[in-house]
Structure 1
């Protein structure tokens, strides 16, 4: 005979269970504050965290000052010298490399640890992923438009000052090296040069976010520079010959590198748009690259277009940001359904991890 306590179990009806599940689900997946409020608070917090880290700001300022000195000494007054045109092309490529590594490497070192904090706050329902993603995008975007949006939505002076410092560092570097290396002092050319460099910077940063959103610090610092190598090689492929000499099967791979668009944009900003002949010094008998069109032909960029370069960089920025958002959402999901990424992740951890994380 069964105990009386076991005979008194009453199971609720299925419709009541469904109602309870719906009520619990509604409480779990809703927030007390709106997405806009979350966005404002998160943006302010990110800016304030950067401002309260003086060591990082000092290191960043010191790095840019060091780069200004080194680049200025290496390429001093070469921009209008017809005998040193190839060296000045090296300066243009140096700017591409600077705005590849300087924005990307700090993200590879910092963001994997920040993801752990994000997971804890996200699963505690402090804020939504959309609010975090857009706050991170605005806080890191080094454009004056983003600065205006932040100023309109925030009132904290610390955040505004820090963001202006981050914005000014990149433009300070460009303004200094552009003048010291003797580039053409034309407003249109300088603005084109500045826009291409800033688009390259935010694209590199987005690529760093996409890599570090899934991998650990050790694996991110390995995968990031390793991925940058083929991108740099494809960017300069075809030097020494016209674009017609580049094999057809190579061209699609060249334009899969966003650095190719960056390099073409900077070269066109410097030597395109019917620039006048360069000065050939008296001590030189012959300056082969006196005419800018000769350089464009030798680098395979005689058909390059500035607006195509702008469009390509914007598209790559959107692609990298979309990949970053998708991988971050998958990282925060309780059900990871994309098996291919799990296989790749296990492969990297098995064969390329150099230490415990």
Structure 2
């Protein structure tokens, strides 16, 4: 088989005595005990092979895949050897950045993973042609079919030419023909010198035969590891005959569920819980087909490499860094020649060999600044393409401003309407705060799944993404809030002073930034359902503190005054009142015989805020904004597992 010089040497995935234990909780709160998902399983998945982790529901398939890939490290114990940097994980749900075409997503992947490559267009075309997606390159990802989305997920990772693929249920939701095409594609990618491991529940006979090796789990234990064709001889060793009309994959899984799983310990003991692999030679297979007796010994060999068994000291063992010259010298030793080509895909296989020759560019880590620029541009494109969302937001801000302006039309200079002035200031801040809190709570939980997948596969680091997210939302946020605040200010009849309007708008924008940070922190922490409850629940006490004690401001206790400083809504309301009625504003108009609050200084004295400095209030708002942005960043890191 021809060697692909650009493909770096790949390593096997080996693991020994892996345990995964989870805490059981009552009503998601009280810990009532623990449950073992994985029970000391061992095994290996070889380079150049397509391996499947099979088993009934709840067997621990996804848990094992997550532990091997590093997606889950907490509550996992054992010894795992894997070259983490050369691996990628493709989730069961094919979530991609919305409002981007297939070609734009591929370009994004190239820009982030191959920043110095000058042949990105050529690489993209070759990958899309080989995966039969070139005719869909101008279609939005969300409009692709299930099989096309799965191929796109693979294409996006192939850009960096990873050595190890982990796939969780790649055939989930696909029809039989599409599922077979997907597995056949993975088989060919494995024969190109990659290690491909996927979970699959109960494959059809056609799909089952595409796998080079299978690892069957039941109740967190390994009950079989070996080639698909040796399942029947393996079962014969324990005097179990697979019916001729049964698929071996269906039958071995059905056996695991039979008699409440009483056969699981027997089968697990034969494989030493995965440490031994069933691999009979040709003549031994023939003997087994002719019948076995009780004294027959299973032809088995050690599954784990001797080097790994002698040095299982660390959880994850990264491959030592080597020079490009060393990679070149060792590149020819790793290509597997096991297995035969599937009929009808020879032409596709030749395309793959041509494609891999293009990926001879050394993959280097991109700078944080480059990642920020690429992500910032991508986010701006997505924002501008969301035309329906833009229209809804524009109408919301304009109509809200018009309604609010009509309610307080030309009342801003009326000395007899003191309580209306307070309602005006409170209303402006609450409208801004509630709007900016709820939008990210409802929209961001879906985004976090994509971010977690892309950061885990080393598309970019969290800090550049976090900065790009914050800065990309600023232009639209400023524009919409300025439209709303301008309409409200001039319709309410406040003094036509540009500097005063500037302060008015600055306070509104600061409130908007704080509320958005709070909403993003909640959206990054909770699901849409839980976030919809947590958002109002969190903002309600802040609103209560905002309206508390205006009629007896001088008698508010010190402790309550201190507590109110943690409510950005209260701080913003006070700053807005000071902006509207402070800075030596002349007396207001009075249509009655006597207006006690006609002099703005009397109102400020009554509210006990005449001594407050605008710099002090802006400092409080700035600290609260930083607090929620830091909280947002910590929530992002927690959800992404970094």
> Normalising by structure 2, what TM-score?
0.45
Aligned partners of 2:305, 2:520: CA distance in 1, in Å? 53
Within 5 Å, give how 1:123-272 maps onto structure 2: 123-141=456-474, 163=475, 165-243=476-554, 245-272=555-582
Q: Which residue is equivalent to 2:420?
A: 87
Q: Shift of residue 98 of structure 1?
A: 1.4
Aligned partners of 2:364, 2:414: CA distance in 1, in Å? 62
Aligned partners of 1:200, 1:235: CA distance in 2, in Å? 13
Structure 1 residues 25 and 86: CA distance shift in structure 2, 3 A:
farther
Q: Shift of residue 166 of structure 1?
A: 4.2
SS in 1 for 2:450: helix
Aligned partners of 1:9, 1:200: CA distance in 2, in Å? 60
Q: Which residue is equivalent to 2:369?
A: 36
Within 5 Å, give how 1:311-330 maps onto structure 2: 311-330=619-638
Correspondence for 1:296 among 601, 604, 609: 604
CA deviation map 1:112-163 (0-9, x unaligned): 111111111111211110111000111123xxxxxxxxxxxxxxxxxxxxx4
Q: Shift of residue 311 of structure 1?
A: 0.5
Q: Is the counterpart of residue 21 in structure 1 residue 317 in structure 2?
A: yes
Q: Quick check: which one's strand share is greater?
A: 2
Q: Shift of residue 5 of structure 1?
A: 6.3
Q: Shift of residue 11 of structure 1?
A: 2.5
Aligned partners of 1:217, 1:87: CA distance in 2, in Å? 36
Q: Which residue is equivalent to 1:11?
A: 307
Correspondence for 1:45 among 370, 378, 397: 378
CA contact 2:398–2:483 (8 Å) conserved in 1: no
Aligned partners of 1:25, 1:295: CA distance in 2, in Å? 71
Higher relative contact order (CA 8 A, sep 6+): 1
Structure 1 residues 65 and 17: CA distance shift in structure 2, 3 A:
same
Structure 1 residues 10 and 105: CA distance shift in structure 2, 3 A:
closer
Structure 1 residues 31 and 101: CA distance shift in structure 2, 3 A:
farther
CA deviation map 1:181-233 (0-9, x unaligned): 01111122111111111000000000011111111001111111111111011
SS in 2 for 1:109: helix
Aligned partners of 1:278, 1:25: CA distance in 2, in Å? 75
CA contact 1:85–1:289 (8 Å) conserved in 2: yes
Point out where structure 1 has 5 or more consecutive residues left out of the alignment. 142-162, 335-357
Aligned partners of 2:442, 2:320: CA distance in 1, in Å? 38
CA contact 1:83–1:287 (8 Å) conserved in 2: yes
Point out where structure 2 has 5 or more consecutive residues left out of the alignment. 1-298, 323-362
Q: Shift of residue 80 of structure 1?
A: 0.8
Within 5 Å, give how 1:91-102 maps onto structure 2: 91-102=424-435
Q: Quick check: which one's helix share is greater?
A: 1
CA contact 2:426–2:546 (8 Å) conserved in 1: no
Q: Shift of residue 12 of structure 1?
A: 6.3
Q: Is the counterpart of residue 103 in structure 1 residue 436 in structure 2?
A: yes
Larger Rg: 2
Aligned partners of 1:290, 1:320: CA distance in 2, in Å? 39
Aligned partners of 1:232, 1:104: CA distance in 2, in Å? 13
Q: Shift of residue 298 of structure 1?
A: 2.8
Total equivalences in the alignment: 304
Aligned partners of 2:529, 2:547: CA distance in 1, in Å? 29
Aligned partners of 2:434, 2:567: CA distance in 1, in Å? 15
